[in-house]
Amino acid sequence: MNRMKVWDSSPSSGQLEVAAVQVKFDSAESPEGRISRVEDLMSDVVDADLIVLPELWFHGAFSFDSWRQNAVTLDSSVLSRLSKVARDQEVWLHAGSFVQTVHTNSDSDMWNTSVLFDASGTQHTTYKKIHRFGFTEGEPTLVEAGDEPVTAVVQTDTGTAVTGLTTCYDLRFPELYRYMLKAGTALHVVPAAWPLSRVPHWEVLGRARAIENQAYVVQCNMAGMDHQTEYGGHSQIVDPNGEILAQAGVEEAVIQARLDFDRLAEVRRSFPVLQDQRADIWSIRDQSMGNVIK
Ligand SMILES: O=C(O)CCC(=O)C(=O)O
């Protein structure tokens, strides 16, 4: 039987210090005001290799009425400001996600797009959210769905991590994470705008994705109120055994933890559950994935 063993030979190694910045939403604050505040929050993060921001923190994930007006292109000023943060602080920055459009002030398509900057401020990777949340309103009616799983190699002097990019509601779809494991993912980053009413799901699903894929999971949520929805906070950093290394409460917060990918390799070696997958039965597609910039 031809069993893939990417998780054995994953290039992930060493250590990375990761911070998640849980942003409080206030609809009275302008997006411009919010970005200045988030810049301040990030400037207080010390010694991180990777900073992660939440989903749609700039727009408000439930502020549907202003998405079109506040949609950004990938060369917009907000993204330039975030690029500058990455460059000035010499840190990889997963800037969360944005309502992305191709042309502002038009009726062109929109997506919920995450953006990863490397430590020189270069836009390294983008990911368009695959699973749109809202059933009959919100995302399914306003934005296009992505159709491409995306991984990126986050690399610093201290460590390297093959990283899977997913967004919020994606957390409910384990097949996406299992699929990315074929690219050797050792870390999953999940920016989110997850409501308070379903925080128990958020906690358990993050731990489940970590345990079943023997990977680190960094979940960065919003706090505060957005229209009728209260965000749940509880951003968390979970290790490959499902242990919570750091967790926020419901307020604005920064959480931080050191991820050890040599230890992850040892977890995969000493409890080699991933080698017992039956991809031959499930026909999980074998496809190499690169860094996609869209
Ligand atoms: O799945 C959930 O309960 C929340 C998902 C969500 O809020 C989102 O994807 O924006």
pLDDT digit string (tens) for 129-171? 999 999 999 999 999 999 999 999 999 999 999 999 999 999 9
202 lines ligand 1 (CB under 6 A): no
Instruction: Please provide residue 199's backbone torsions phi and psi, each rounded to the nearest 5 degrees.
Output: -60, -35
223 lines ligand 1 (CB under 6 A): no
Confirm whether 128 is a catalytic residue.
Answer: no
168 lines ligand 1 (CB under 6 A): yes
Please compute the mean of the pLDDT values over residues 260-286 and round it to a whole number: 87
Q: Distance between CA 129 and CA 91 in Å, rounded?
A: 24
198 lines ligand 1 (CB under 6 A): yes
Note the pLDDT of residue 290.
47
| Cβ proximity of 24 and 251 under 8 Å | yes
Question: Scanning the structure block, which residue is given the tokens 């190499």?
Answer: 288
Report the candidate in 144, 210, 143 with the shortest Cα–Cα distance to residue 181: 210
Closest-lying ligand 1 atom to the alpha carbon of residue 133: 9
Confirm whether 220 is a catalytic residue.
Answer: no
**Token pair for residue 79?**
């993204």
Please compute the mean of the pLDDT values over residues 46-62 and round it to a whole number: 98
| Cβ proximity of 46 and 245 under 8 Å | no
Q: What is the pTM of this model?
A: 0.94
Q: Distance between CA 196 and CA 193 in Å, rounded?
A: 9
Q: Distance between CA 168 and CA 260 in Å, rounded?
A: 24
3-state helix, strand, coil in the chain (%, to 5): 30, 30, 40
The total of other beta-carbon atoms located within 10 Å of residue 284's CB is 16
| Cβ proximity of 189 and 94 under 8 Å | yes
Question: Scanning the structure block, which residue is given the tokens 């991180």?
Answer: 48
Q: How far is the CA of 170 from the centre of ligand 1 (A)?
A: 8
Q: Distance between CA 198 and CA 75 in Å, rounded?
A: 34
Binned at pLDDT 50, 70 and 90, residue 4 comes out as: very low
For ligand 1, pick from 55, 111, 166, 169 the residue to mutate: most ligand atoms within 8 Å of CB: 169
Cα-to-chain-centroid distance, residue 210: 14
13-41 residue pLDDT tens: 999 999 999 999 999 999 889 999 999 99
One of 17, 24, 55, 182 is an active-site residue; which one? 55
Confirm whether 129 is a catalytic residue.
Answer: yes
61 lines ligand 1 (CB under 6 A): yes
Phi-psi group of 170: left, alpha or beta (phi > 0 → left; psi -120 to 50 → alpha; rest → beta) = alpha
For ligand 1, pick from 142, 143, 198 the residue to mutate: most ligand atoms within 8 Å of CB: 198
Q: Distance between CA 124 and CA 116 in Å, rounded?
A: 6
235-244 residue pLDDT tens: 999 999 999 9
Note the pLDDT of residue 2.
31
**Token pair for residue 98?**
């944005």
